[in-house]
Amino acid sequence: MRIAIFGSGYVGLVTGACLADVGHDVICVDVDADKITRLNNGKVPIHEPGLETLIHHNLKTGRLRFTTDAARAVNFGLLQFIAVGTPPDEDGSADLHHVLEVARTIGMHMQDYKIVVNKSTVPVGTAEKVQYAIAETLSARGVEQDFDVCSNPEFLKEGAAIDDFSKGARIVVGTDSERARQAMQECYAPYSRLQNKLIFMDIRSAELTKYAANAMLATKISFINEIAHLAERLGADIEQIRHGIGSDPRIGYHFIYPGCGYGGSCFPKDVQALTRTSRDLGHESHLLKAVETINQRQKGQLFHKLSQAFDHDLRGKNIALWGLAFKPNTDDMREAPSRTLMEALWAAGARVQAYDPEASEECRRLYGQRDDLTLSRRRDEALEGADALVICTEWKEFRAVDFEALRQTLYHPVLVDGRNLFDPDTVKAAGLRYYAIGRGDSLHAATVI
């Protein structure tokens, strides 16, 4: 099949590379000429395991190409995927500017029947807006042309996107057209493992499914963090509780890891957008608002614990920070808990010595050169001259730590662990004060100075 994909960001690139890899002919379009030149030279602007190899291979096979030429792309493929960004507006609703711009571009160049497939995360009713924008553009051209619009939301996790694309839990397609249904079936036919996972439904339900999935997952995280909050104050251990509840198959072990809050490009944005949609319909979603509020509080926990450990005076302290990315295996720092922590530390007059295996460059891009930020190349380098260590991201390389050596390196024996990576008794036996999430006495451990 010949497929065009508008938007060469995260979703567009993964979709394009994966579809080309199974034999489809794919053209990816973007308005950013520099990005397209770099992509045609094999330079991939995002860090996603396996993506670069896939792009290089399929550039070579000729099944994947990148262009800024929208007219060429529209006339290239039967399927026209829209995979551009929908950043939140100031009020939390999704900004459809780019999506509708692509719709008008498709309408501008369309010569024959097309199926426009929306992959961007968009509010319910957007497919109708896309339909209208295309129809309006066609009519301004004086052209009568049949086309279909369908919704095919993505459920990719950063760091596992390639696997998710080819072996995900399901593919949701919202359409009211038999022709579009058959074309989508053909598009995903090479993924034999997904054949019985194709779920067809009406367009509005498909659009809402995406938000419902992310809101449900975010709710699970805020729920466990809320119980962690209680456990901490009651002298209970959230890790034991997690095992205790996860063993019930109705609850399950997935996505109930307590931590320093969810981040990334999806959960915060989608929960806010759904809250806003709900409000627009005259219904205040107390549940979604609570999910968001708990997450904000959770992101502030690391600073709170650190501040408490230093008797609420962090002026002049050097804080070692391991993990800047919002989760492992990505360099993405959007809405990352590390940012909330760093900004609070700077406001309190502390300095940060950070290490992340992938996100240093992104951190520099976000915060620039500043005296109170050092980016280290190794995890141990970040500890040199540090007063305390905080862990924000559960990168694999943070899991094995020589606690004796750590205690000797730090000026104060304070370890704040936002991901509950260690056994509290082992850490404490080495003479460190261990402040984890929801683990009994970790909140009330005495201050160290």
- Output the DSSP codes for 281-306: TT---HHHHHHHHHHHHHHTHHHHHH
Binding flags for ligand UDX, 198-237, as an x/- string (CB under 6 A) = ----------------x--x---x----------------
Give CA–CA dist 279/54, Å, rounded: 42
147 lies in the binding site for ligand UDX (CB under 6 A): no
Q: How far is the CB of 394 from ligand UDX (least distance, A)?
A: 8
What residue type is 394 in one-letter code?
E
Q: Which of 66, 81, 262, 355 binds ligand UDX (CB under 6 A)?
A: 262
Q: Which of 40, 115, 29, 98 is nearest to 67 (CA)?
A: 29
For CA atoms 264, 265, 267, 272, give the dihedral sign.
Answer: positive
81 lies in the binding site for ligand UDX (CB under 6 A): no
- Beta carbon nearer to ligand UDX, 98 or 327: 327
Give CA–CA dist 181/175, Å, rounded: 7
The interface region with ligand UDX, picked from 28-36, 68-76, 250-258, 438-446 by CB under 6 A, is: 250-258
Task: List the catalytic residue out of 150, 260, 266, 363.
Answer: 266
Q: Which of 26, 82, 84, 156 binds ligand UDX (CB under 6 A)?
A: 156
CB atoms within 10 A of CB 402: 11
The interface region with ligand UDX, picked from 94-102, 174-182, 254-262, 402-410 by CB under 6 A, is: 254-262
Q: Which of 21, 154, 356, 387 binds ligand UDX (CB under 6 A)?
A: 154
- Beta carbon nearer to ligand UDX, 255 or 346: 255
Please count the residues of this chain forming the interface with ligand UDX, following the rule CB under 6 A: 19
Q: How far is the CB of 244 from ligand UDX (least distance, A)?
A: 16
Residues 266-325 within binding reach of ligand UDX (CB under 6 A): 266-267
- Residue number of the CB atom closest to ligand UDX: 266
Could you give the C-alpha distances from 68 to 37, 40, 65, 135, 325, in angstroms and in order?
9, 11, 11, 23, 31
263 lies in the binding site for ligand UDX (CB under 6 A): yes
The interface region with ligand UDX, picked from 55-63, 232-240, 252-260, 275-283 by CB under 6 A, is: 252-260
Residues 331-390 within binding reach of ligand UDX (CB under 6 A): none
Distance between start and end Cα atoms, the chain:
67
Q: Which of 158, 331, 358, 417 binds ligand UDX (CB under 6 A)?
A: 158
Q: Tell me, rounded to whole angstroms, the distance of Cα 273 from its chain centroid.
A: 15
* Strands across the sheet containing 25-29: 64-67, 25-29, 2-6, 79-82, 114-118, 147-151, 171-174, 198-201
Annotated active-site residue 266? The verdict is yes
Q: How far is the CB of 349 from ligand UDX (least distance, A)?
A: 28
- Beta carbon nearer to ligand UDX, 188 or 262: 262
* Strands across the sheet containing 373-375: 373-375, 351-355, 318-322, 388-391, 414-417, 433-435
The interface region with ligand UDX, picked from 107-115, 197-205, 259-267, 367-375 by CB under 6 A, is: 259-267
- Beta carbon nearer to ligand UDX, 164 or 372: 164
Q: Bridge-partner residues for 384, per DSSP? A: none
155 lies in the binding site for ligand UDX (CB under 6 A): yes
**With contact defined as beta carbons under 8 Å apart, do 84 and 65 qualify?**
no
What residue type is 373 in one-letter code?
L
Q: Bridge-partner residues for 433, per DSSP? A: 414
264 lies in the binding site for ligand UDX (CB under 6 A): yes
Q: Which of 241, 269, 268 is nearest to 257 (CA)?
A: 241
- Beta carbon nearer to ligand UDX, 161 or 352: 161
User: Rg of the Cα trace of the chain?
Assistant: 24
Residue given tokens 């024959």 in the structure block? 112
**CA within 13 Å, CB half, 243:** 3
Q: Which of 81, 147, 322, 326 binds ligand UDX (CB under 6 A)?
A: 326
Residues in the site for ligand UDX, rule: CB under 6 A? 154-158, 214, 217, 221, 255-257, 259, 262-264, 266-267, 326-327
Active site residue ranges = 266
